[in-house]
Structure formats: C-alpha cells, structure tokens
Amino acid sequence: MSDAVQTQSTPNAGFTPRVFSGIQPTGNLHLGNYLGALKRFADAQNKGIESIYCMVDMHAITVWQDPVDLARATRELCAGFIASGLDPEKSILFNQSQVPEHAQMAWIFNCVARMGWMQRMTQFKDKAGKNAQNASLGLFAYPALMAADILVYHATHVPVGEDQKQHLELTRDIAMKFNHDYGVDFFPITEPVIEGAATRVMSFRDGTKKMSKSDPSDMSRINLTDDADAIAKKIRKAKTDPDPLPDTVEGLEGRPEASNLVNIYAALADLTPEQVIAEHAGQQFGSFKPSLADLAVAKLAPISAEMSRLMQDQAEIDRILGRGSERARDIAAPILNKAYDIVGMIRS
Ligand code: ATP
Ligand code: MG
C-alpha cells in the first residue's frame, strides 16, 4: 500500500487504517483492472493493513446481466483475485450481495446524497448514454451504493483507477454530510489511493478512451483470459502514431497511444515511465511492441493459467466467498447497527 496509508492524515486520526476496493463481475477482466486494481491490491497485501476486496455483483446488475453469466463472472473474478496474488486468508474476499449490510447502508445514503450531486456523475452519463430515461434507477444510484460499500467498513483508503476519482469524492461528501447532519464524527473521510504508472490504461483502439470490460470491441483490451497469441496480436494491432519513442517522457505529451504503451510497459515491469523511455528511446513501435508483448505474456500467462485451474473447483470458490462474507459481516454489522442508532431507527 502507498505511503498515504502509513501517514494517516488528521481527519481520520481516530480510525484504524482499513483498505476496501471492489470490482464488478461483468466479465472480460482486463489489463486495466489488473494494473489499476488487482496488481496493486496484491502488492499492498503484506503491509499489515486489514484489506477487504469485493466482487460487486449488485453494481453489475445496474445494467442487464444474464444470470448464468453473472454467476460465472463472479467466480471468475474471484479466481482472478487469487491468481493475481491475493490470499483469501490475509485479505477478505467476498461478493457484495452476500453481505446485506451494503444495501442497508446504501438506503441511508440514498437519503443523504442530493440529486444534484448524482446528476454530475460522469460514469452515469457515459454508461446511460443518449438513452438516460431508459437507464435503471440502480445505475443512477450506483455511487451511493459504492459509498456504502466503503463506509460500512469505515474504510480509510480505497485503491482504485483514475476513473473512480469522482465517485470517491462523492463518498467523502456523503460521509461529511452524514457526520454534519447528525452531529457526529462517525464516518471517516476516505482517501482515494490512485497511484502508479497505470492508473488509467487506455483502449488499444482509441487512446482517449479508457480500457473497459464493457467496450464492445475485444481488440480494445487485453483480457486476463487471453492466450499468448491473442495478447501479441492485440498489442501488434494497437493504434499508435508513426513517430519513434521520444528521448524524454515529456516527449510523450499529446501522444496518448504512445504514452499508454509506455505506461503499460512500466507498470508490468515495475519500472517508472522515465526508466522505460531511457531504455527504449528512439525505438520504432515495430520493435517496442514485440518487447511489450513478450513482457505482457510473461506476466499475464501465469495468471490466466491459474485462473483456469481455480475455475475447475467451483465449490472451493464458493466456499472462499462464503467465508469472506462472514468475515466481512463481522465488521459491517456493528457499524450498520451504530448508523441505524444515530439515525434513530430502532433495532430491538
Ligand atoms: P465496466 O466497463 O463494466 O465498468 P471496468 O473495466 O470499468 O468495467 P470496474 O469493475 O468498473 O471495471 O472497475 C474495477 C477497478 O478497475 C476499479 O478500481 C477501476 O478504477 C479499475 N479500472 C477500470 N478500468 C481501468 C483502466 N482502464 N485503467 C486502470 N484502472 C481501471
Ligand atoms: Mg467501471
């Protein structure tokens, strides 16, 4: 975890550091999810901070999910967490719908968040598209549920990709308004942890759009389940400009596709973009892309193989999710009880 976790900022001085993050089981787990989330979770695991990671199936159904696919994607995501290095004994791994406290806290937050706040959320606008009137109410309320996911554990730190920054700001606004309205200091003001070379991995087809599970083009992303040939082909065909790599990172400015590939290389190799540029300055993409493909295959192939192995034992995955849910509820239930009490809702 980042230094931010160790150097607790004053607003959360009274709270035990605790990490929470979630990923949607919407299939197509990709390189952006790995570098922006999973790899960072695994890197942070041995810092001795309690960490809770959730397969957010309730967020997934804010847009239509085939039931069979959703169940499969949830198990595959759990396999993805473990294959990326998360240890279900050290971290708490579970699926959101098995811990009803998330939905219960979300209702309180639906009553704290303001319509105007929600209407500013760019993810809703992107996902609802032109047909916003036909989007689900759940898609609109999504950020209040996300605030509940985090705050029902009093999580102080949330490692995410850059795209979740606005939702994290909303989470802070909800915590502050709750604390203010009820005259308490109950919820921490959560710190987003957005760091590393690949906090925003871009689509291979359009360097201005983030890589996404929901992008209809499979060539836009590397899936964690892709084999070596598919990975190499997608990198070879990734959109780039005709110029060679520059001598300095500043030279990448205004070259979104080139900086995307350099950042991916850096994140996969645990280097800084500066180090990658120092090594590859002046190279044409014709030679940089094969080096990147080799690196990506070396790092991702073992993950993909481990995911398929784990997917063969569905009962074991379900057991891990069940056990994780129990551990999560042990933390969430007393916090929810206290929130009900603050609000004046009787639990007898
Ligand atoms: P969807 O398109 O269904 O929203 P997604 O690809 O955005 O899927 P999420 O489940 O919404 O994936 O996000 C899971 C985590 O991965 C979040 O922390 C998010 O910030 C991170 N993430 C998603 N896309 C990227 C990306 N392109 N680069 C870096 N991090 C990313
Ligand atoms: Mg997303």
pLDDT in tens, 297-318: 999 999 999 999 999 999 999 9
Q: Give the count of beta carbons closer than 10 Å to the beta carbon of residue 65.
A: 18
Dump pLDDT digits (tens) for 312-348.
999 999 999 999 999 999 999 999 999 999 999 999 8
pLDDT at 343: 98
pLDDT at 348: 87
- Tell me how far the alpha carbon of residue 212 lies from the centroid of ligand 2, in angstroms: 7
Question: Residue 261 pLDDT more than 60?
Answer: yes
Please identify, by atom number, the ligand 1 atom nearest to the C-alpha of residue 30: 6
Question: Residue 152 pLDDT more than 80?
Answer: yes
Mean pLDDT of 127-135: 93
Please identify, by atom number, the ligand 1 atom nearest to the C-alpha of residue 24: 10
Within 8 A by CB and 6+ apart from 212, the residues are 30, 32, 203, 220, 221
Q: Three-class SS of residue 176? A: helix
Rounded to whole angstroms, the Cα distance separating 245 from 264 reads 14
- Kindly state the DSSP code that residue 53 receives in the 8-state scheme: E
Q: H helices then E strands: how many in the chain?
A: 15, 5
Q: Whose CA is nearest to atom 18 of ligand 1?
A: 160
- Kindly state the DSSP code that residue 261 receives in the 8-state scheme: H
**Nearest ligand, measured from the Cα of 70:** 1
Question: Residue 3 pLDDT more than 60?
Answer: no
pLDDT band at 143 (very low <50, low <70, confident <90, very high): very high
Closest CA to 4 of 267, 190, 150: 190
DSSP state letters, 275-343: HHHHHHTT--HHHHHHHHHHHHHHHHHHHHHHHHHHHT-HHHHHHHHHHHHHHHHHHHHHHHHHHHHHH
Rounded to whole angstroms, the Cα distance separating 348 from 334 reads 14
Please identify, by atom number, the ligand 1 atom nearest to the C-alpha of residue 163: 20
**Nearest ligand, measured from the Cα of 23:** 1
The binding-site residues of ligand 1, defined as CB within 6 angstroms of any ligand atom, are: 21, 23-24, 26, 32-33, 36-37, 160-161, 163-164, 198-201, 210-214
Tell me the catalytic residues.
127, 210, 213
Question: Residue 264 pLDDT more than 80?
Answer: yes
pLDDT at 13: 85
pLDDT at 46: 86
Rounded to whole angstroms, the Cα distance separating 323 from 344 reads 32
Q: What is the mean pLDDT of the chain?
A: 95
Question: Residue 49 pLDDT more than 60?
Answer: yes
pTM: 0.94
pLDDT band at 10 (very low <50, low <70, confident <90, very high): low
CA dihedral for 102, 35, 318, 153, sign (positive or negative): negative
- Tell me how far the alpha carbon of residue 180 lies from the centroid of ligand 2, in angstroms: 30
Mean pLDDT of 255-270: 97
Mutation choice for ligand 1 from 31, 33, 95, 263, CB with most ligand atoms inside 8 A = 33
Dump pLDDT digits (tens) for 164-190.
999 999 999 999 999 999 999 999 999
- Tell me how far the alpha carbon of residue 210 lies from the centroid of ligand 1, in angstroms: 8
